[in-house]
Structure 1
Amino acid sequence: MAETDSTPATKSSLVFVFLVVLIDMLGFGIIMPVLPTLITDITGGSLSGAAVYAGWLAFAYAAMQFVFGPIVGNLSDRFGRRPVLLGALGGYAIAYILMGFAPTLFWLFVARVIAGIMGASFSTAYAYIADITPPEKRAQNFGLIGAAFGLGFIFGPALGGILGEYGTRLPFFAAGGLAALNLMFGFFMLKESLPPEKRRRFDMARANALVALRGLHGQNKIVIWYAAALTVWMTAHVVYPIVFAFYAMEAFGWSALTVGLALACVGIGAAIVQGLLIRVLIPRIGERNSVIIGAVSMAVSSIAYVIAGPDQGWLIFIAIPIGALQGLFQPSINGLMSQAVSEDTQGELQGAVASLQSIASVVGPPLFTAVFAAFTVAGTLYYLPGAPFGLAGIICLCALAIFLRGYALHCTGEVAEPPPDAQTVTD
């Protein structure tokens, strides 16, 4: 039985779990405005070359999360949530401080690999909340994780931009210091939530990153089309955290502070759409129209990134609120997908969606940074810093086309029967 969440110890544990996720997102956001300068300082190269390295750094981070997510989750089932969460914070502190001191690209990659492995602890954070919260209050407390994501993406870039004015490496030390402080707080305040009698042995066969994709096996054609649309869209969406800082510095000569404030505006727009407009618009206009608005808004906003000249950085601040409406895309498709599957396969479906999102996070960064480098490198035939955003807009429209095909099948009721071996066997 889950503990009641009214005791002081439980409340402090919830605060700690919130801070674990918040610090990871703050750390991710803090480094975004200054990462281009750090890489160019280390390599002595151009922004174009630095962007390519940044793409592979993001690839390493996402790949580690994809591989280690189920491993870390299974370890927490075996040894408890507390050691995994505390270990993650210790790893964060080491990773960010290592980035701050990194003398070469090799050490930057080592740091991002460590951070990616530690970032796989998100699943443990959700499990901890489920352990200590009664079923009727879990949705409310799971919302803390979403709030941590949103706040981290708002305040992280702004803080990184401000600190970056005093030193390129200072934001990394700040992120490491925050992780170390939370580690000390958790060491004294965090109680174990999983009693020994509820633990299970570690099974490597269940700790396979590809296992979750089995949730799509045997699903009807509607779900497959929706899942494909979501994967394509998520690949396009990666362009913002990966390329924005490089683009703004190259196209407009923005400082780390301006980049950080602009990214904070992106975070605020996402928070408004996902925290408020979703609840109002989707019930009124339906999932189909919400998906269309989300895709078209991203495509339209990408035009501003492509056409903005050196003295037209103000266009970006017009594009940001327009692009924020893309936040309607994913929850609308998730809602339609959940309607197209049976109640007993909802968990499998969401696990598969999470795996697809991880794959998109692995594929997108090197793709978009390579495009940025090709269109900004010295001697390029056509100089266009906004090319990655143009490509993202096109990819987003492809996602919309895939979705509309799936929706047409949904409306006509055309559903493929699952193969015999995928059907549920009942007594």
Structure 2
Amino acid sequence: MPIWKRNLIVCWFGMFVTGVGMSQIAPVLPLFIKHLGVHDASEIAQFSGFAFGVTFIISAIFSPIWGAAADKFGRKPMLLRASLGMAIVIFCMGFAPNVYVLIGLRLLQGIITGYGTACTTLIATQTDRDHAGYALGTLSTANIAGSLLGPMIGGFLVENFGMQDVFFITGALMFVAFLTTAFFVKETFTREHKQVKKAKEVWALIPEKSLTITMFVTFFVLTVALYSVEPILTVYITQLTYNLSHVALIAGITFSASGLANIFAAPRLGKLSDRIGAHKVMLFSLIAAGVIFIPQAFVRNPWELMILRFLLGLTAAGLTPTVNILIKKITPAAITGRVFGFTMSAGYLGVFGGAVLGGQVAAWFGSRYVFIVTSALLLMNAVWVYFNVYKKLHLKPIQT
């Protein structure tokens, strides 16, 4: 088996568990915070929102820093640091004596993140041009699926094991990811003779600046779209069904439908990108995703919404691989980790921004308008991609 394939398998598992570890706390937080001694409903809501969001904001700040460290010291050391660090921190959350210690640990979790950045950089630099789309497409399913399935997994663990055990089990899985990384990931790292330290130097080395910015924005918009419905999904399903006893289960399945579709479609769309060009798959995926959001605002029952969320996952699966493929092609080797770090930052900000957007739009206009606004964002991004990426690369393909 080629080294890149073996590394891809290990990284996929690690990124999936990392995604679960970042997001599984969502349905657990209000209950766990109440367990820690906070009983006022408004305080529980405030602490829950802050404890969930702080990890993603801090991760957005530190991802480029760990990306730079990956360029300097190698990708495997960063994988080991992040997986072991997250295993310890998440495990310790189960012993948090109060809400302030819990928030501090969530903040620390955001600081030590960087597993996804190092994995993406490792696979991108090891994989040859003919297999890059398939490899990056497969890898992209791990983080998205882990993040989207995380809340459902967290809820399942609470139901069957208990609140504290959620952290213990997730921490144990992260430790397994650390062990598999230590024993099975192979990397021959050659440090660049001239190290790029300053942000201005990094920016100067990027040959396609406009294209790179477009990739960051596209990845941000994608994650906003995927997470804009998270704060309103349970309320929306409550409005669509009379069977209130299973609302939480239906909401979890509906939210996770996009992740399941992503697992199925991303490797195939990655392969298609290798054949016909990443820019073509990206444009089609943006338009299709934008269109599929519109009927979600007019569904009559949860099952229609579930089907549409699954179709959304099929189309969104074409975006993360194409972003990573184009970044791999236009980024010099000396700064690959740093640029992928900025991409991950855009994703983390998108998770936070999507949750804020969905909550605010629903509060001001109603739940159905969240889908309309998100559709408009995707379609506007598609127009920008058409003029700034598709037309440009259609006339002059990137030479690698």
TM-score computed with the length of structure 2 as normaliser: 0.71
Give the counterpart of 2:197 among 177, 186, 206.
Answer: 206
Of residues 320, 324, 330, the one that matches 2:309 is 320
Deviations 1:57-95 (A, max 9, x none): 555333433433343345456666665433322321233
Using a 3 Å threshold, how does the CA distance of structure 1 residues 326 and 78 change in structure 2: closer, same or farther? closer
Q: Residue in 2 aligned with 1:417?
A: none
Alignment of 1:188-227 (within 5 A): 189=183, 193=187, 206=197, 212-214=202-204, 219=209, 223=211, 227=213
5+ long unaligned stretches in structure 1? 415-427
| Residue of structure 2 aligned with 1:231, choices 217, 234, 243 | 217
Amino acid aligned to 2:87: A
CA distance in 2: counterparts of 1:371 and 1:155, whole angstroms? 19
**1:280-317 deviation per Cα after TM superposition (whole angstroms, max 9, x unaligned):** 5996799558624533433432542x4457xx322321
Does residue 113 (structure 1) correspond to residue 98 (structure 2)? The answer is no
Deviation at 1:216, TM superposition (A): 5.1
Residue 356 (structure 2) aligns with: 369
Q: Counterpart in 1 of 2:267?
A: 275
The one of 20, 42, 50 equivalent to 2:14 is 20
Aligned alpha-carbon RMSD (Å): 5.0
Matches within 5 A, 1:271-350: 271-277=263-269, 279=271, 287-288=279-280, 291-304=283-296, 306-307=297-298, 312-324=301-313, 325-329=315-319, 331=321
SS class of match (2:21): helix
**In structure 2, what is the equivalent of residue 422 of structure 1?**
none
Letter matched to residue 165 of structure 1: E
TM-aligned CA distance change 1:409 to 1:54, over 3 Å: farther
Partner amino acid for 1:92?
M
Per the TM alignment, residue 164 of structure 1 is displaced from its structure 2 partner at its CA by: 2.7
Aligned to 1:91: 85
Q: Given the alignment, which residue of 240, 245, 251 partners 2:226?
A: 240
Distance 1:366 1:400 in 2: 19
- Give the alignment of 1:64-103 within 5 angstroms: 64-75=58-69, 84-102=78-96
User: Is 1:153–1:264's contact at 8 Å kept on the other side of the alignment?
Assistant: no
Amino acid at match of 1:237: T
Pick closer, same or farther for the CA change 1:293–1:146 going to 2, 3 Å. Answer: closer
Alignment partner, residue 385 of structure 1 = 367
Given that residues 82 and 113 in structure 2 are in contact (C-alpha distance below 8 angstroms), is that contact kept between their aligned partners in structure 1? yes
Structure number with bigger Rg: 1
Q: Quick check: 1:161–1:256 contact (8 Å CA) kept in 2?
A: no
1:249 corresponds to: 234
Which one of the candidate residues 56, 59, 74 is aligned to 1:62? 56
Aligned position for 1:159 = 153
How far is 1:158 from its partner? Answer: 4.3
Query: Number of aligned pairs?
Result: 386
Tell whether the 8 Å contact from 2:118 to 2:337 is kept in structure 1 after alignment.
no
Q: Is the 8 A contact 1:235 1:363 kept in 2?
A: yes
1:177 CA drift (Å): 2.0
Quote the Cα distance in structure 1 between the aligned partners of 2:266 and 2:393: 26
Shift of 1:258: 3.6
SS in 2 for 1:294: helix
Q: 1:403: how far off?
A: 2.4
For 1:234, the aligned partner's letter is F
1:420 alignment partner in structure 2: none
1:403 equivalenced with 2:385 (yes/no): yes
Change (3 A) 1:137 1:284: closer
**Residues 405 and 157 of structure 1, relative CA distance in 2, 3 Å threshold:** same
Q: 1:165 to 1:364 in 2, by over 3 A?
A: closer
Whole-Å separation in 1 of the counterparts to 2:93 and 2:3: 37
- The answer on whether the counterparts of 2:78 and 2:115 sit within 8 Å (CA) in structure 1 is yes
User: Which of the numbers 158, 170, 173 marks the counterpart of 1:175?
Assistant: 170
1:358: which partner in 2?
345
The 3 A distance-change label for structure 1 pair 275 and 289 is closer
**Residue 274 of structure 1 aligns to which amino acid in structure 2?**
A
Aligned with 1:31: secondary structure? coil
> 2 CA distance for matches of 1:103 and 1:388?
37
Runs of 5+ consecutive residues of structure 2 not aligned to the other structure:
239-243
Q: Is the 8 A contact 2:86 2:112 kept in 1?
A: yes
1:263 maps to 255
Find the residue that maps to 2:318 and give its secondary structure.
helix
Q: How does 1:115-154 map to 2 (within 5 A)?
A: 115-125=109-119, 139=132, 145-146=139-140, 148-149=142-143, 152-153=146-147
* Structure 1 residue 274 displacement after superposition: 1.6
